[in-house]
Structure 1
Amino acid sequence: MEYEHVAALRKVHPAWKLLRADNAALILCFLGEVFADGNRGSVPAPELEAALDEFLYQINDPQNPDYPKSAKDYLADWADGSAGFLRRFYPLEDEVLHYEVTPAFEKAYSWVRSLGKREFVGTQSRLETVVEMLRSIVRGTETSPEKRLEDLKAQREAINAQIAAVEAGELEFMDETKIRELYQQIGITARELLSDFRQVEENFREQYRTNREHIVSSVGKSQKEVLDDLVRSRSEINQTDEGKSFGAFWKFSLSASSQEELRDLLAKVSALSAVDTDRRLLAIPNDWAEAADRTQRAVRKMSEQLRRFLDDWLRFKNRRVLDLANSITANALKMRDNPPEIGMYIDIPGIAISLPFERPLYQKPAQTSVDSQGITEGELPDDEALFNQMFVDQMRLLDNLRQVIPPRASAELEDILEVYPIEQGVEEVLGYMTLDDDALEIEIEAEETRIQVKTNEGDLKTLKMPKVKVTRK
């Protein structure tokens, strides 16, 4: 980290400001209990004020209170733009003020919570998790079919060995230390995922603000161009890594079978004697589903607000055009009885004049005589070339590429031809180079290469050609 960057964060980042605040303990304990531990999205202002007033009554000394302000004043201070711990807003079609915590508060609360001493610090499970993640990435990006088959066969042999051991009555159980370590890691990951939803929602909200600014600043653009930009922007959000990840999680939360499996697994693990059951972890599927639904509702409401804002903007633009048309009509009516004497002049470089007598007179077309006598039979042309045309099946070529290249990977054409040799000569090579498919990208490089090609006559010849790189999207 650079010194200037850390110094700037200390001054402007809301999470750092919270930790430096005099009433940081009050903010973290109260807001953490209501929002983070309670998994609440937005809370109406009257309800939050009543809860804070009760909390202050419990911790304050009546003779010498540490927090003398009212609950309403504290909430206003925490939601002030210079603080940034709370966000206050009026929900769509609701006249009651609401509060919700910001991602900066979630970061500060998670950090303070991590300062507490844990029963033990497990390292084995996290190391195994890192290794398994690296292994998954390598397996998913391997472009060699031989290495993939080798890896799959190794996995199959390991599974067969486990099956044989179970059939022989040799059961290997996980020790209690590793069970507690994994259970602890599950709890930490589950709580971090809950706090991450607020950051995802904040990122979507930032994109909403950017779209509104784009509409306001779109001077000189037509309505069609503005709409195209907004639709493209929404599509880009869905195609980002964050949008794809949230979409996959949303599908998981909508799957009844996946939810049922998750609850069943949590129940079985919590029933183990080696585990000190965390009751909140049993309800984590509901908390995840509620947090994801809250984020989805927020995105839907932002889309509705953006649509209304766009409708108002278009209505204003149309009204301005109508006002201009009415102004022109009013001026024309005023000048109808007293038109201007000068009239209107148009600068034209020249007028094209075509006189009738300049056209040529009609001429009778000349007749062509045809001698149909003495016609002799000629030789028929050689039509063998018509029947020797070669057809290259591009669908077969596309299937070959899909079999060799995994998604989001690339390979050289000469490597592909080693797996699927040329069967139709140079025409098949040209067929690979001219494939037109949205899921593929054919890149012809400046470097040259040589490949062996069998011609239609069966002769083996060397083809000198530029290197071709095929990328699958």
Structure 2
Amino acid sequence: MSALSQTHALRQLIETDATWRLLRAANAPVIAALLSEHLGGESRRLATAELYERIDHDLDALRGHGFDLPQNAQGYCAEWRKSGFLTRRADEDTRGETFELAAGALGAIRFLEQLAAPRQTVTESRLASIGVQLGQLAIDTDPDVTRRLEQLHAQRDRIDAQIERIHAGDVETLDPARALERVRDILAQAEEIPSDFARVRAEFENLNRDLRARIVESDDTQRTVLDEVFRGVDLIAESDEGRSFAGFSALVLDPAVGSAFDDDVARVLAGDFAADLTPAQRQFLRRFIGTLKDHSGEIHEVITAFARGLRRYVQSQDYQRDRVLRSLLRGALATGVAASAHTKPYQPTTLHLELSAVALRSVGAVRLHDPAELDATAPIVEHVAGTADLAALRALARETEIDFAELIDNVNTVLTELDVCTVREVLERHPASQGVASVVGLLTLAAHQGTIPGGVETVRWQGSDQAARAADIPIYRFTGRLL
């Protein structure tokens, strides 16, 4: 590519790419900081009202420090959505709308984070990872059976030699500095996953629009897409993007892979070198597989919704209406081009169009005004505010919420005596002070920060009616201090 063609390509990229647009925005630091704080962490999606409230609070603090930010949160979010930094979607659960970061904004935020805290790019772990993947690719793609067997035998000999050294007592482990380097390199690669999921979702949205456009624009002699939809072919899932994501999802949802990953994370975090990791990094590793499963489930829902919508669009014959509308629009444009030779755009016309200023609605939606509804028949009762009792408020809080702070202290206390412990062992040493709520709280902590080795154990507690109760639960193990 010549310098001229590359310049034109980059110029078009600057004008169309959201990542470039955010990086060269006038308030780029403010935009990146606000979006990263509220949508770049564990909360990847927020309701519009909640995001407006949070950003308005931050805008007040920024204005107090001299930043010129004349608009409110709603105005800025509308501007950021138009610029491609935010994606607004309908929420079927609340019948409202939500905001999430677009792929371009995620890429810009990750780029700025790397500038603020640059990572060492030339590392032993990265080179070793590339070498392992390259060697495996060479084996898997080599059609020569003899050479492929030689490579596999060489791998086996190296593994056998390592096993013999371990049997002989020659055990070598990585020093803490190299181990910490590898963990951080793994974290750097894992942090790119949210951006990848956002790009995957954008690719499926573009594919859905492209298929609909092909249906509308195709004529009777080009019925490939229509015929496949009528035959029940899922064009979304059968596309290159769909097949690629299906392979990734199958690997993520494999129970063996998830269990092995959890065990590996537990062993890594138990090492002395892991003490140099931040609590956020440790928690990110523990929840990594669960996060992948959540994102994978969202993409599956998107694929299913697009496939159903495309099939309904074809089977309901709605595409015929869009074809007629497209034909009329093209005819009007052609007529306008012909008329432009002798008619100016600003020439007055005799056409008079009455625009309605009244919203159209069904007669059944009209509600008659009843003055009796405004009558205050009940006497007004005055309630005098009293002084709050701290002990009563604490007791009320314990009745309505699980005391996670107490449960975390109980688990960490038991871990000072034992290397690992289960939910039953915690309850034996620290009885459930809140009854079944304490049991539920321990199970919640174990599901997020523990491991599942398999099996069933019996836990016992005393209910609020002082009756002894028991239940069989899956075995969860706490292998490290809770955060």
Question: Into which bin does the TM-score normalised by the smaller protein fall?
Answer: 0.5 to 0.7
Q: Is the 8 A contact 1:215 1:226 kept in 2?
A: yes
Cα deviation digits, residues 5-63 of structure 1 (max 9, x gap): 112222222111111111212221121222222252x432112211211222332218x
1:274 partner letter: F
Aligned length: 313
Q: Is the 8 A contact 1:223 1:314 kept in 2?
A: no
For residue 249 of structure 2, what is the aligned residue in structure 1? Answer: 250
Are residue 56 (structure 1) and residue 59 (structure 2) matched?
A: yes
When structure 1 is superposed on structure 2, of 116-125 and 102-111 the one drifting more is: 116-125
Q: 1:226 to 1:238 in 2, by over 3 A?
A: closer
Q: Is the 8 A contact 2:229 2:311 kept in 1?
A: no
Are residue 289 (structure 1) and residue 293 (structure 2) matched?
A: yes
CA distance in 2, matches of 1:89, 1:171: 54
Q: Is the 8 A contact 1:88 1:99 kept in 2?
A: yes
Q: Which has the higher contact order (CA 8 A, sep 6+)?
A: 1
CA distance in 1, matches of 2:236, 2:287: 34
CA distance in 2, matches of 1:292, 1:39: 16
CA distance in 1, matches of 2:106, 2:257: 28
Cα deviation digits, residues 393-425 of structure 1 (max 9, x gap): xxxxxxxxxxxxxxxxxxxxxxxxxxxxxxxxx
Q: Is the 8 A contact 2:226 2:314 kept in 1?
A: no
Q: 1:223 to 1:144 in 2, by over 3 A?
A: closer
Q: Is the 8 A contact 1:90 1:98 kept in 2?
A: yes
For residue 74 of structure 1, what is the aligned residue in structure 2? Answer: 76
% identical aligned pairs: 26
The two structures have a TM-score, normalised by structure 1, of 0.61
Are residue 141 (structure 1) and residue 144 (structure 2) matched?
A: no
Q: Is the 8 A contact 2:234 2:307 kept in 1?
A: no
CA shift, 1:171, in A, is: 0.7
For residue 430 of structure 1, what is the aligned residue in structure 2? Answer: none
1:44 partner letter: A
Q: Is the 8 A contact 2:19 2:108 kept in 1?
A: yes
CA shift, 1:223, in A, is: 7.9
Alignment of 1:379-394 (within 5 A): none
Q: RMSD of the alignment, in Å?
A: 2.7
- 3-state SS of paired residue (2:116): coil
CA distance in 2, matches of 1:230, 1:15: 39
Which of 15, 19, 25 is the matching residue for 1:21?
A: 25
Alignment of 1:166-177 (within 5 A): 166-177=166-177
CA distance in 2, matches of 1:269, 1:236: 39
Cα deviation digits, residues 376-407 of structure 1 (max 9, x gap): xxxxxxxxxxxxxxxxxxxxxxxxxxxxxxxx
Q: Is the 8 A contact 2:47 2:98 kept in 1?
A: yes
Q: 1:313 to 1:65 in 2, by over 3 A?
A: same
CA shift, 1:287, in A, is: 1.4
Q: 1:299 to 1:225 in 2, by over 3 A?
A: closer
CA distance in 2, matches of 1:293, 1:128: 32
- Structure 1 gaps of 5+ residues are 321-473
CA distance in 2, matches of 1:227, 1:299: 20
Q: 1:315 to 1:7 in 2, by over 3 A?
A: closer
CA shift, 1:268, in A, is: 1.2
Are residue 300 (structure 1) and residue 300 (structure 2) matched?
A: no
For residue 198 of structure 2, what is the aligned residue in structure 1? Answer: 198
- 3-state SS of paired residue (1:304): helix
For residue 36 of structure 1, what is the aligned residue in structure 2? Answer: 40
1:289 partner letter: K
- Structure 2 gaps of 5+ residues are 325-483
Larger Rg: 1
CA distance in 2, matches of 1:226, 1:217: 11
Q: 1:311 to 1:164 in 2, by over 3 A?
A: same
